[in-house]
Amino acid sequence: MKRALLAFAAVATLPVFTISPYVLNMAATAGIFVMLAAGLYIVVGYCGLLDLGFAAFFAIGAYTSGILATRFELPLVATLPAVLCATVLAGIVIGGPTLRLRSDYLAIVTLGFGEIVRVTATRLEITGGPTGIYGIPPLAADPVAFFYLVLVVTALALTGAARLGRSKLGRAWQYVREDEDAAEATGISTYRVKLAAYVLGSVWGGLAGVLFASQLSAISPASFTFLQSALVLVAVVLGAARNITGVILAAAFVAVTPELLRAFPDARYFLFGVLLVVVMLLRHRRRATA
């Protein structure tokens, strides 16, 4: 808890050193990505469900708020209730039937779901087709203010995820991850527990999508590809030594590294991949010697 507050305070001093919009923007991007990872951590880290289409909820959040804000000239904050409803509904529609099956099927269905959402957004008129939606009003226009907004929201999202993990529900998620049959035999309705993880994770993802829409003011299907889902999953897997701190660091790493490698446009993702492998190996060795 103390360490978390210290880290929060340390990050909060960033605008003291620089108010370069580029740096603050990158920090906000990293923050949004950390929030996404916190959401996926509920699903994958706690509950052990493999979700390969998490970007779908990111997209649903971003599009719901973007469409409502631009069509009805609403401030972005006013779209939050609708975003909550949309993500919960999507979570139930996808998770409801799928989570009755063994966990392996979820990976396939979520993979498909991610693509369906992206392709649907590309085809529909209301989502602006391939060009997407632009002119989304920001939550905060000033880069410093937006940076702090992202920082606070992400901190709340992380705290929320961590607290859920230390509750009855969070323990039930971990029972399911550890041994689903034993959890069921102990009287835990594993179906309901898994659905709760999936729906809560999607709410986190949807709210991160609202921040994303606010940051870019324009969204298009290109932001919600399988690569995005895969990167969030990479962050969770890389960071999940079964605690949420690792996920924060890993998510920041995954979000910022490709940006820092912009100087090498051709080899960017190649270098990123190599770095990922190196980090994974180092982490593995540290754990092995610990």
Partner 1 sequence: MSLLSVRDLRLSFGGLTVVNGVSFDLEPAEILAVIGPNGAGKTSAFNCVTGVYRPQRGSVTVDGRPITGLPPSRIAGLGLARTFQNLRLFPAMSAEDNVRAGLHRATRQALWDVLLHTPRYRRSERESLEQARHWLDVAGYEGDPGQPAGTLPYGEQRRVELARALAAGPRVLLLDEPAAGLNHAERSGLVRLIREVRSTGVAVLMIEHDMGLVLELADRVAVLDRGRKIADGPPDEIRTDQAVIDAYLGDADAAA
Segment interacting with partner 1, rule: CB under 8 A, options 186-194, 210-218, 251-259, 276-284:
186-194
Count CA atoms closer than 13 A to 249's CA, side-chain side.
14
Bridge-based pairing state of the strands 133-134 and 218-219: antiparallel
Is residue 163 within the footprint of partner 1 (CB under 8 A)? yes
Per CB under 8 A, 172 contacts partner 1:
yes
Among 85, 89, 126, 182, binds partner 1 (CB under 8 A): 182
Residue 185 found at the interface with partner 1 (CB under 8 A):
yes
- Number of neighbours of residue 74 by Cβ within 10 angstroms: 14
Measured between alpha carbons, how far is 165 from 243 in angstroms, rounded to an integer? 10
- Using DSSP, state whether 202 is helix, strand or coil: helix
What's the CA gap between 213 and 200, in Å, rounded? Answer: 20
**Of the candidates 4, 88, 108, 169, which one interacts with partner 1 according to CB under 8 A?**
169
Kindly state whether residue 153 participates in binding partner 1, applying the rule CB under 8 A: no
284 interacts with partner 1 by CB under 8 A: no
- Of these, 189, 277, 278, 285, which contacts partner 1 (CB under 8 A)? 189
For tokens 């898994």, name the residue.
194
Secondary structure of the chain: what % helix, strand, coil (to 5)?
80, 0, 20
Q: Does 181 bind partner 1 (CB under 8 A)?
A: yes
Minimum CB separation of residue 50 from partner 1 in Å reads 18
Q: How far is the CB of 172 from partner 1 (least distance, A)?
A: 6
What is the Cα 147 distance to its own chain's centre? 17
Q: Does 186 bind partner 1 (CB under 8 A)?
A: yes
Separation between Cα atoms, residue 14 and residue 289, nearest integer Å? 35
Scanning 74-82, 120-128, 134-142, 156-164 for contacts with partner 1 by CB under 8 A, the matching segment is 156-164
Interface with partner 1 by CB under 8 A: which residues? Answer: 160, 163-164, 166-172, 174-175, 178-179, 181-191, 242
